[in-house]
Amino acid sequence: MIVGLDMGGTHIDAVIIEDGRIIKTVKKPNDRDNVFQSIWTTLKELLLGHDKSKISRINLSTTVSTNAIVENNTSSVGMIIQSGPGLPHDFLACGDENVFISGYVNHGGKLVRELELKEIEEAVSLFKEKNIEACAVVTKFSNRNPNHEIKIKELLSKDFSNITMGHTMSGKLNFPRRVFTSYLNAAVHNTFMNFSNNIRRSCQKEGIHAPLFILKADGGTMSLEAAEKKPVETILSGPAASFMGISAMLETDKDAILLDIGGTTTDIFFLADGVPLFEPLGIQINSYKTLVRSVYSVSIGLGGDSSINIDKGNIRIGPHREGKPYAFGGPKPTPTDAMIVLGEIQAGDRKLAYDSMNILGKQLGLSELDTAKLILETMGDMVKDKISELLYEINSRPVYTVKELLHGKKLNPKLIHIIGGPAKVLAPYLEKKLSIPCHCPKNYHIANAVGAALAKPTAEINMLADTSQGILSVSELGIYEKINKDFSLDSARKKAIELLKEHAKSIGAYAEEIEAEIVEESFFNKVSGFYTTGKNIRIKAQIKPGLLEVLNHEG
């Protein structure tokens, strides 16, 4: 028995799934001022009458990290950055306080210049004076040699407990992205810890002892303990749940558009031959480009509860939500009010919904019904225009999926899969606008919770073996081992799969769930003068997103 919870901005959706069948669903308001109460009451209602000892795991998706960043409600962060020579560093100053220090290692991981300890002591004094809450330490090429980061953390740990080291974030070579990823990890740490403590308290109060997992941006999960160390991985957890929910409910092997239309936003995804598009370098949130691996998704400020205004004789929907729909006592007309007027939704105060359409209709010279129809037509046009814009961008560059780089691939969607509260109402409008079939699954309203429940653990490692230096490194795992000159590409492949499987188990994966694969590899000889001095071997291995169970669509 699996429990899935999707904690959105306005509601918590929860589901019990057993043997591929949806047993029970619950939707409750999410009080962001009392997270514990929201989680506990949802679990209590969901599990009423069910044997809690049968729960094999609880999977959660949450917007808590994303909201903290978007709303600028994060901890103050002191950054210590060692950028080395040749790189202007002003654009890397992302923290509340930023200290750039001397010393560096080269691209091969060799120490060129040692740390100046006095600079670190001055940084500590500054951070204490400014009441800094968290720290991040990032040195260039730390994924090849993390010694400077480790030494700096030791010095900081006397005065600070929340410290992120850049080499633990990713083994990929992109220093600016590693800086921003480390900053965000430190910035959301306290917020995420508060959330995880509330989850644990809720489970304890309900007598639940099942393992807890958190959805990541790549559509996979990690244990709650692992997420506490790398909360940055949970950014865009909500859209990932949407994607996994659509994938579980509606399968296809064609190019497709996937949509989750919620109360505040619409999330857009794409499939290439049934396989999800991926961000090849990592996601961007606000102005921060990161190394967080992710399903490709784009959110726009358009949803059922988006506020509607008239601007120069035209309807403007969103991008903000200013409260509940007018029919529920909110301040502004919304698309939900239009759906109530058209009889598509049986909820709220119908008279208030008509009043809201009348307010807009007077400015447009239209009746309440015609105004409501125009609002839904406008929503359809807005989604269509954004999809067209995104397809142009995607088809102007190489297409990456979770499996591979598709050379020469041009996306040509043949269908739309749609979930979310307004999904059933908007499906015919989108089908007409985009001239392709639009499918809405049976349980579209709780698809996010289903996606969270069924998501499998995922992982990725980046391994470098340099036989000239006799070093094998996997920086995200903190592994730096000696190897001999006979270490081969075949040895590297076996080692990468072995380490990936061990890592997957450490973040909560069960052995039978692990399907490890190598997705990138390179090999070249290192030459000095006229002699080969060794081999440089690079391996990227992953456990890709997938479903724990196949959903029984009859259940």
CATH number assigned to the domain comprising residue 338: 3.30.420.40
500 and 407 in a single domain? The answer is no
Q: Is the pTM of this model over 0.85?
A: yes
**172 is a domain residue:** no
362 and 505 in a single domain? The answer is no
**171 is a domain residue:** no
**361 is a domain residue:** yes
**Residue 479: enclosing H or E segment and its boundaries?**
strand 479-482
Is residue 439 within 8 Å of residue 504, measured between CB atoms?
Answer: no
As given in the structure block, the two tokens for residue 494 are 């076996």
Is residue 536 within 8 Å of residue 523, measured between CB atoms?
Answer: yes
**472 is a domain residue:** yes
268 and 375 in a single domain? The answer is yes
CA dist., res. 67 & res. 37, Å (int): 19
413 and 275 in a single domain? The answer is yes
What pLDDT does residue 67 have? 82
204 and 333 in a single domain? The answer is no
Q: Which domain range does residue 488 map to?
A: 459-543
Q: Which residue has the tokens 């307010």?
A: 359
As given in the structure block, the two tokens for residue 383 are 């989604």
304 and 384 in a single domain? The answer is yes
**27 is a domain residue:** yes
Is residue 59 within 8 Å of residue 220, measured between CB atoms?
Answer: no
CA dist., res. 537 & res. 490, Å (int): 10
As given in the structure block, the two tokens for residue 417 are 């899969």
278 and 418 in a single domain? The answer is yes
As given in the structure block, the two tokens for residue 453 are 């429940």
**178 is a domain residue:** no
227 and 264 in a single domain? The answer is no
Taking only the tens of pLDDT, the chain with its 555 residues reads: 999 999 877 788 999 999 999 999 998 888 877 888 888 899 999 999 999 999 999 999 988 888 888 878 899 999 999 998 877 788 999 999 999 999 999 888 888 999 999 999 999 999 999 999 999 999 999 998 999 999 999 999 999 999 999 999 998 889 999 999 999 999 999 999 998 998 899 889 889 999 999 999 999 999 999 999 999 999 988 889 989 999 888 888 999 999 999 888 888 999 999 888 988 789 988 889 999 999 999 888 899 999 999 998 999 998 888 889 999 999 999 999 999 999 999 999 999 999 999 999 999 999 999 999 999 999 999 999 999 999 999 998 888 776 666 667 889 999 999 998 899 999 999 999 999 999 998 888 889 999 999 999 999 999 999 998 899 999 999 999 999 999 999 999 999 999 999 999 999 898 888 999 998 899 988 777 778 788 999 999 999 888 898 887 654
Closest CA to 266 of 275, 257, 256, 254: 257
389, 408, 440 — which closes off a domain? 440
Cis peptide before 319 (omega within 30 of 0): yes
161, 180, 210 — which closes off a domain? 161
What pLDDT does residue 526 have? 79
What pLDDT does residue 404 have? 63
386 and 426 in a single domain? The answer is yes
**29 is a domain residue:** yes
**Residues 6 or more apart whose Cβ sits within 8 Å of residue 376:** 335, 338, 339, 342, 425, 426, 429
What pLDDT does residue 301 have? 87
CA dist., res. 151 & res. 155, Å (int): 7
**38 is a domain residue:** yes
What pLDDT does residue 405 have? 64
46 and 132 in a single domain? The answer is no
232 and 282 in a single domain? The answer is no
374, 407, 440 — which closes off a domain? 440
Which letter does DSSP use for residue 456 in this model? P
CA dist., res. 325 & res. 238, Å (int): 22
91 and 62 in a single domain? The answer is no
**Residues 6 or more apart whose Cβ sits within 8 Å of residue 555:** 20, 21, 22
Domain count within the chain:
4
CA dist., res. 299 & res. 283, Å (int): 12
CA dist., res. 216 & res. 187, Å (int): 17
What pLDDT does residue 555 have? 45
